[in-house]
Structure 1
Amino acid sequence: MIKREMYMKRIRPFIGTELIKVMTGIRRCGKSVMLELIKEELVESGISSAQFISINFEDLNFSHLQTAKSLHDEITKRAAEINDKVYLFFDEIQEVKDWEKCINSLRVSLDCDIYITGSNAKLLSGELSTYLGGRFVEFVIYPFSFAEFLELYRPIAPDEPIQKCFQKYLLSGGMPYLANIRYEDAPSKLYLHDQFNSVQLKDIVTRNKIRDIDLLERIIAYVIANVGTTFSATSLAKFFKNEKRTVAPETILNYIKYCCDAYLFYQVKREDLQGKQILASNEKYYIADHGIREAVFGGNMRDINLILENIVYLELLRRDYKVTVGRTGDKEIDFVCDKSGEKLYVQVAYLLASDETVRREFGAYDNIRDNYPKYVVSLDEFDMSRNGIKHRNIRDFLLAEEWN
């Protein structure tokens, strides 16, 4: 179990406070491990593990607690036996009907510290905000970064050069469980395929009561094939029409939103940097784990430029940046990143193999006149920085502690 200090650093200030700590993210991305790491911290600070009450709602042993009332009664009873402050850990809380009512009641009636995880972005929409009145803090957990992957892969392949390790990451992705099967190709692919099916069935089809599963599968396949490529729901509707399927753009948008709610995809909006406004159409989508894409769709090495973009995008999210795609005139910047008012620009390429490519990638910044850091990131081994624009090998960029 690795420490995942990037997340712990953010969670630590809230441990022991009355705020409800909510961890969200795609299934099996390591949310349960975060709960274990928090427990470790509490024990090290002198809290007895006898004060912990932990329930994983995917465990059938707890299926009788999947209503707000039954869960509330059970926790109240167990808390009375502890007769001290209790620490509540609820995994995959979305399985409990009206869970937010229960959590709010426990927060009010018990001396407790509450931690919950869930695999659906709707977890924190409308109802919950109303019930908890802003008394929660959310942490999105992502699959392993390249640095985290290396921490577990290095002991398995100690003599492999960093280039080979990165190639493995390109194909395997960052789902934590793969370390348990030593990143072996066939078992990894099978696991990731099953993982994808589970997200599709449990978190998208069942949760949203989707009847046209064939259409959903086609939409998901299209988005997976086109990660990092701008497209509109209207263009996708036309694509389906050519395949003799009539689908309204609104239906397509709804289905993609369900996938985003399940953390399978992330939507990136486009921003006009000169007019300082978000553009209404042609968003980009990236997948939560590029290893899932390789297992389900294949072609990560063929589409390596898109996969490198996907990897960099997720790394920006991990580091808490808000990200848009930037447009200035007829030029586009892959990622415009903002964290507390501090900006960062990132352009991603596969290889700067020709003068034309160099001009295109560095030239994307021609209309940007501010002094915030500007990067071109690629697989090239040689530093081609110029005109104040920094060029970095993607491995070095991903492993850097900070960018400035």
Structure 2
Amino acid sequence: MIKILQEIILDFQEIEVFSGIPRHLDVTPLHGKATVCIGVRRSGKSTFLFQLMQGLLGKGVIRQNILYLNFFDDRLHGLQQSGLGVILDAYYSLYPDKKNSEKVYCFFDEIQAIDGWEPFVDRLMRTENCEVYITGSSARMLSKEIATQMRGRALSWEVFPFSFREYLDYLGLDGGDGVLSTKQRLFVQNAFEQYWEAGGFPEVASLERHLRVKIHQDYFHAVLFRDLVERHDISHPKALTDLAHWLVDNTASLYSLNKLTGYLKSLGHKVPHSSVADYLAWFEDAYFLFTVRLFDASLSRANANPKKIYCIDHAMVTSVSSGILVNTGHLLENLVFTALRRVTPDIFYYKTKGGREVDFIAQWQDRPRLLVQVCETLVNPTTRKREIAALEEAMMELNLPTGIIVTRQEEEQMVLKAGTIEVIPAWRFLLYNPPFLY
């Protein structure tokens, strides 16, 4: 195993590191803490590690002081038996003079593939002169359990597929800092239409539709079978796949545990409620599908009510879904959800005392709550009246002076009794709203 590790370490030091488009992710390594980057597979976590490496090289760190391992490499399968401690043996047998004398920068990609990684990294942080950077595709790496096993020696950041601003960077366009010229605005609006079609996964950003669809479907199956079936040893993989398809087909729609269990039963799957609940939790753990609960002070009431489902990427929905139930309004709502989810996990839907629904209420620490309604167009008078009434009623009940309606194209400002409602086109919302995000 040591010889294999030495080859992998030396091979990486000889290749040119591809750093891609710089991400809008402000990761600040702290002394004594491992830097953990987590997110859905293929979101750009490995490339982000390479960007961090490039930053170190730019500060004068030499390549020999950078140790990189990708634990999805088949050659590292034997580490499960030999233990992770052999990594240090392999590295310091190559560079014995560096032991305790020079800082080593350890980059471990998808380390959750190896059981027992937490005590290894904890020991590394305690006993070696090193900085540790880790990626993983499991939200479990944010959990209190991991924090306990790591004795507080880890700080986590989430990595999502390209935001719209990062997509503009990919296209070489300037998103501005609040005000755009007419020419800039036209370029940005055209870029939004491309983003609407392509989504945020970096690998598919410039591909033709048929290739994008194929790759999205490959991602879908990789998440299901590598991040769920294999990781959790699921005994009913067909039930899991059927459930995933139903949820993607019903993006931005309400579901209940009873409804999902009944649906699987209708297909001949004998899966109990508890297993369906586990599947839903594991979808979210893999950063693939997200559940949004009703906003309620009582957690039991929130859990008793139907929940809404969203996907990590709106374009992936179009590539994977049957196309029967998902419409452009659902995709727009999904797009707004992912924009909010990048900056806070505390997102709910709201139901007024009069039974009207607002799509999102988002919470940030030390900031006012944000109410967001999503509507493709307000041209229809009935739709307009319904969406405004729901948002205004929620603003009054929650004592919030502002609310937002995100549309595809429309833009206006309404001053009502409850406060101000900003109607914002999706491209502008992704760039500038909420204002404190940028």
User: Which of the numbers 112, 134, 142 marks the counterpart of 1:116?
Assistant: 134
Of 127-136 and 238-247, the range deviating more from structure 2: 238-247
* Deviation string, structure 1 residues 18-64 (Cα, Å, up to 9, x no partner): 11111111101011111112122223334333321111112234344
Which among 348, 351, 359 is matched to residue 334 of structure 1? 359
Write the deviation string for residues 318-372 of structure 1: whole angstroms up to 9, x where unpaired: 1336211122211222111111131211111111121221121111231423245
8 Å Cα contact 1:68-1:97 kept in structure 2? no
Q: 2:112 aligns to what? A: 94
Q: Deviations over 1:130-185 (max 9, x none)?
A: 22122211111111112222332468xx9x96555333323321111113xx2211
Distance 1:145 1:335 in 2: 19
Corresponding position of 1:392 = 424
SS at match of 1:353: coil
CA distance in 2, matches of 1:313, 1:39: 31
Whole-angstrom distance in 1 between the partners of 2:165 and 2:301: 32
| Secondary structure of 1:352 counterpart | coil
Could you say which residue in structure 1 is the equivalent of 2:381?
A: 355
Q: In 2, are the aligned partners of 1:300 and 1:307 still within 8 Å (CA)?
A: no
Change (3 A) 1:235 1:63: closer
Match of residue 199 from structure 2: 173
**Secondary structure class of the residue paired with 1:90:** strand
Once residues 79 and 198 of structure 1 are traced to their aligned partners in structure 2, the CA distance between those partners, rounded to angstroms, is 37
**Shift in Å, 1:217:** 1.0
Deviates more, 1:289-298 or 1:351-360: 289-298
Q: Aligned match of 2:90 in 74, 86, 106? A: 74
Residue of structure 1 equivalent to 2:244: 220
Could you tell which deviates more after superposition, 198-207 or 358-367?
A: 358-367
Rounded to whole Å, the distance in 2 between the matches of 1:252 and 1:211 is: 12
1:186-206 deviation per Cα after TM superposition (whole angstroms, max 9, x unaligned):
221111111111111111111
Give yes or no for contact 1:325–1:332 (8 Å, CA) kept in 2. Answer: yes
Query: How is 1:232-247 mapped onto 2 (pairs within 5 angstroms)?
Result: 232-247=256-271
Deviates more, 1:208-217 or 1:56-65: 56-65
Contact kept in structure 2, 1:271 and 1:278, CA below 8 Å:
no
Match of 1:374 in 2: 403
- Greater mean deviation of Cα atoms: 186-195 or 73-82: 73-82
Q: Residue 106 and residue 297 in structure 1: after superposition, are their counterparts in 2 closer, same or farther (change >3 A)?
A: same
Please say if residues 72 and 102 of structure 1, whose CA atoms lie closer than 8 Å, have aligned partners that are also in contact. no
**In the alignment, is residue 32 of structure 1 matched against residue 56 of structure 2?**
no
Matched, 1:41 2:55: yes
Partner amino acid, structure 1, of 2:414? S
Q: Which whole-Å CA distance do the structure 2 matches of 1:199 and 1:276 have between them?
A: 29
Aligned residues: 394
Specify which of 390, 409, 412 is matched with residue 364 of structure 1. Answer: 390
Alignment partners' CA distance in 1, 2:114 and 2:260 = 36
1:303 aligns with 2:319: no
2:44 matches 1:18: no
| CA distance 1:276–1:237, change in 2 (3 Å) | closer
Q: Contact (CA 8 Å) 1:271, 1:277: kept in 2 or not? A: no
Residue 197, structure 1, aligned to residue 229, structure 2: no
Question: Does the Cα contact within 8 Å between 1:233 and 1:250 map onto a contact in 2?
Answer: no
Q: Retained in 2: the 8 A contact 1:268–1:285?
A: yes
Report the AA paired with residue 56 of structure 2.
L
State whether residues 219 and 256 of structure 1, in contact with CA within 8 Å, keep that contact through their aligned partners in structure 2: no
Q: What amino acid does structure 2 have at the position aligned with 1:68? A: L
Name the CA shift for 1:316/1:300 in 2 (closer, same or farther; >3 Å).
farther
8 Å Cα contact 2:249-2:326 kept in structure 1: no
Quote the sequence identity (%).
Answer: 27
Equivalent position of 2:152 in the other structure:
134
- Cα deviation, 1:231-286, whole Å, max 9, x if unaligned, reads 1111122233444444322221111222111111112121137x798611312121
Alpha-carbon contact 1:272-1:327 (below 8 Å) kept: no
Which letter does structure 2 place at the counterpart of 1:279? A
- Residue 384 of structure 1 and its aligned partner are, at CA, apart by 5.1
Q: TM-score, normalized by length of structure 1?
A: 0.89
Structure 1's unaligned 5+ residue stretches are none
Partner of 2:135: helix, strand, or coil?
A: strand
Question: 1:72: how far off?
Answer: 4.4
Inter-CA distance 361–259: structure 2 relative to 1 (3 Å threshold): same
**In 2 relative to 1, CA 339–278 (structure 1 residues): closer, same or farther, beyond 3 Å?**
farther
2:294 corresponds in structure 1 to 270
Q: CA RMSD in A?
A: 2.6
User: What is the alpha-carbon distance in structure 2 between the residues aligned to residue 267 and residue 99 of structure 1?
Assistant: 28
1:3 equivalent in alignment to 2:26: no
User: CA, structure 1 residues 200+302, in 2 after alignment: closer, same or farther (shift >3 Å)?
Assistant: closer
The 8 Å contact of residues 239 and 264 in structure 2, kept in 1 or not, is answered as no
Change (3 A) 1:236 1:61: closer
Q: Which residue of 2 aligns with 1:346?
A: 372
Q: Deviations over 1:44-96 (max 9, x none)?
A: 33433332111111223434444323334335545644330111100010122
Mapped to 1, the partners of 2:294 and 2:94 lie a distance apart of 50
